[in-house]
Each structure stands twice: as C-alpha cells, then as structure tokens.
C-alpha cells in the first residue's frame, strides 16, 4: 500500500530561546518491507548546518544546528512510502530449533543480538505474566508471539498520552493500561524474558476507520526470528506490523527512537508547548485522515 504522510511538529516557546542541536528521526527508511518513494523536510527557523547520519541502529537521522534566538520551532515532513503486507501467522514456520520457548540463537547470531536480549529494568511481574501465557500455549514460539499481542490488546486499556517516555513494564502491569508505547515496551519485556531478541519501534499506522482531523506517531515492537529477521508485532492493534505500518526507526531503548530529540536554553521560567499533526492518505488520491497513537516527542 502506497501512502502519503504529512507530519508537522510545532514547538512554541514562552519567550525567545536558543536552540541546542536537534536530532530528527522522521525519515522512513527503505528496507525489505517498505520502499520510500519521496521525502522532504522543512524546518523553521532555518538551521545553519544539517548533517544526515546513520544512527547506531541504521536509522537515518538529521542533526540540525541553530544560531540566534527564536520563539518557535516548526518541523514539517512529507513522505510517500510503499509498505508490504505482513506475514500471516499461519505462514510463520520457525526453524525446529527455535519453535519452542525459551529461544536459543546460534552463537554468532546471539552475539549480535545481545543488546536486544538484556532484561528491562523495573520489570517486576513480567515473568509471571509471560509465563502464564507460555504455559497455556505449551511454549510454542509462534503462538506466544501472536497471542501476546492479542492478550495485551484485550486486557489492557488504551489511552492517548502525547508526551513522555514509556512507563516501565512494572508500571504498565500495575496500571493495566497505557499508550501504544507503554504496551509496546511491555511486549518487548515479555519477549526478552524468554530469550527472544526484541526492540522498540517508532513510526506511523494508517487506519481508515478513524475520521479525526489529525493523528500522531505510533509505536510497536519487533522480534528477531531466524530465517525472517525483524518481524513487527503491534499490541495496540493485536496484529503483526504490515502494509499499514510505516517504520521510522527502531532501537534497543525507546530513548533511541525519539522522533525529535533536542533542548533549548532560555531565561527563568521559559517553557514550551508541543503541537503535532499527522495526515495519512492513500497515494491514489482519495484523501483519508488517520489518527494514530503517540510515541515520545
């Protein structure tokens, strides 16, 4: 599905401030499951210097440098991206050595995946939550991955929270709900408990059933499966990530996936307010606006 994505981020400051360098993770990256046809970036005020870099997880980032003072920072992107459908669960036949939990990767693969296997701090309760599901599914890897998305979607409340990092997995379990990024981070914690390499993903999701005037960024998880690579799972929608999911970046921590990362220097009491808008429509010309859930600003 080829989608046209317009994304505007606007920071309004209570007084003139100086902008420190900012890092933007707003350009979708071409990969085996998505192709970027076009991308444009517009920033006001104009940066004095822009560097395009590959991040540690191979996402494409723009690092911006500013001079002078301003009371506004506005970032606009336009993207046209074509994403492929997901693998249907019935076609996900794992290697016989990885069909059951816990997962054991070959040594060379394991060494490359080590950061994505580290337990997440403040995850009390995750072991019991994940183990109850795994026992019920007789520790079958493919069924665990899909049923975990359905379980979190079904039993946890969903809320909109525009700013802030994800809650810890322990907090999400206690609260029994959260934003898309909270649910995704809980999913990652459950996977790592069973030796599944998992990471946090920031991007967009297209949902034509939503008719609100705008939307925000979305978050989900990816798990590394032998023979398939990184496969996305979205507990907010109880599905695999597919042609309606457009990935911007993925990382071992949510903090490495912030779409806009930067700070400012201002006088006493200086504050900022954030406004964002995402409009997604099929590239065939039929305009449809999709509201999506947020990730960290």
132 and 240 share one domain: yes
Number of domains in the chain: 2
Which among 140, 144, 161 has a CA at the least distance from the CA of 219?
161
The confidence band for 197, taking pLDDT boundaries of 50, 70 and 90, is very high
247 and 262 share one domain: no
Q: What is the chain's length?
A: 297
Residue 43 domain-assigned (yes or no): yes
58 and 140 share one domain: no
Task: Tell me the per-residue pLDDT of 228-280, one tens digit each, with 9 for 90 and over.
Answer: 899 999 999 999 998 889 999 999 999 999 999 999 999 999 999 999 899 99
134 and 229 share one domain: yes
Residue 136 domain-assigned (yes or no): yes
245 and 102 share one domain: yes
103 and 241 share one domain: yes
139 and 151 share one domain: yes
Residue 232 domain-assigned (yes or no): yes
243 and 269 share one domain: no
Indicate whether 290 pLDDT > 50: no
Give residue 293's pLDDT. 32
List the CATH number of the domain containing 261: 2.60.40.2250
Compute the radius of gyration of the chain from its Cα atoms.
20
Task: Supply 176's token pair.
Answer: 């029994």
Residue 21 domain-assigned (yes or no): yes
- According to DSSP, residue 237 is labeled T
Indicate whether 296 pLDDT > 50: no
Give residue 45's pLDDT. 97
Q: Which residue range is the domain that position 177 belongs to? A: 89-206+218-255
Instruction: Give the rounded percent of residues in the chain with a pLDDT score beyond 90.
Output: 74
Which among 168, 42, 131, 143 has a CA at the least distance from the CA of 89?
143
101 and 163 share one domain: yes
CA distances from 99 to 134, 152, 159, 190 (A): 13, 22, 34, 17
Task: Tell me the per-residue pLDDT of 77-128, one tens digit each, with 9 for 90 and over.
Answer: 999 999 888 776 656 666 666 889 999 999 999 999 999 999 999 999 999 9
CA distance 66 to 71: 13
Give residue 219's pLDDT. 96
The confidence band for 213, taking pLDDT boundaries of 50, 70 and 90, is very low
Residue 244 domain-assigned (yes or no): yes
Task: Tell me the per-residue pLDDT of 178-196, one tens digit each, with 9 for 90 and over.
Answer: 999 999 999 999 999 999 9
CA distances from 81 to 5, 39, 199, 203, 219 (A): 8, 9, 22, 12, 17
Give residue 209's pLDDT. 72
Give residue 121's pLDDT. 93
Residue 175 domain-assigned (yes or no): yes
Overall average pLDDT of the 25-38 stretch:
92
Which among 235, 239, 250, 237 has a CA at the least distance from the CA of 130?
235
CA distance 296 to 259: 7
The confidence band for 281, taking pLDDT boundaries of 50, 70 and 90, is confident
The confidence band for 294, taking pLDDT boundaries of 50, 70 and 90, is very low
Mean pLDDT for all residues in the chain: 89
19 and 164 share one domain: no
Give residue 57's pLDDT. 77
Which among 184, 283, 228, 1 has a CA at the least distance from the CA of 93?
228
CA angle (107, 30, 141) in 5-degree steps? 40
CA distance 8 to 107: 44
Contact 225, 98 (CB under 8 A): yes
Task: Tell me the per-residue pLDDT of 128-153, one tens digit each, with 9 for 90 and over.
Answer: 999 999 999 999 999 999 999 999 99
CA distance 159 to 177: 7
119 and 179 share one domain: yes
67 and 8 share one domain: yes
């Amino acid at each position: 599905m080829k989608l046209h994505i317009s994304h505007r981020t606007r920071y309004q400051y209570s007084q003139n401030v100086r902008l420190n360098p900012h890092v933007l993770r707003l350009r979708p990256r071409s990969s085996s499951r998505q192709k970027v046809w076009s991308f444009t970036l517009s920033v006001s005020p104009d940066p004095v210097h822009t560097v395009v870099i590959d991040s540690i997880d191979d996402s494409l980032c723009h690092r911006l440098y500013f001079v002078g003072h301003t009371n506004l920072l506005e970032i606009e992107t336009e993207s046209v991206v074509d994403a492929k459908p997901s693998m249907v669960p019935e076609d996900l036949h794992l290697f016989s050595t990885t069909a059951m939990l816990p997962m054991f990767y070959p040594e060379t693969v394991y060494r490359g995946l080590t950061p994505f296997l580290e337990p997440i701090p403040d995850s009390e309760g995750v072991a019991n939550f994940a183990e109850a599901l795994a026992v019920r599914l007789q520790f079958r890897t493919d069924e665990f991955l899909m049923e975990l998305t359905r379980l979190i979607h079904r039993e946890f409340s969903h809320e909109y929270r525009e700013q802030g990092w994800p809650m810890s997995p322990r907090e999400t379990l206690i609260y029994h709900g959260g934003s898309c990024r909270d649910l995704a981070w809980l999913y990652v914690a459950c996977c790592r408990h069973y030796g599944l390499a998992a990471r946090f993903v920031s991007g967009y999701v297209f949902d034509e059933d939503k008719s609100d005037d705008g939307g925000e960024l979305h978050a989900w998880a990816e798990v590394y499966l032998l023979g398939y690579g990184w496969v996305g799972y979205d507990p907010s929608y109880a599905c695999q990530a597919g042609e309606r999911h457009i990935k911007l970046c993925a990382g071992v921590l949510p903090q490495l996936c912030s779409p806009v990362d930067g700070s400012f220097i201002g006088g006493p009491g200086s504050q900022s307010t954030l406004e964002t808008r995402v409009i997604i429509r099929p590239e065939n010309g039929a305009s449809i606006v999709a509201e999506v859930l947020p990730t960290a600003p």
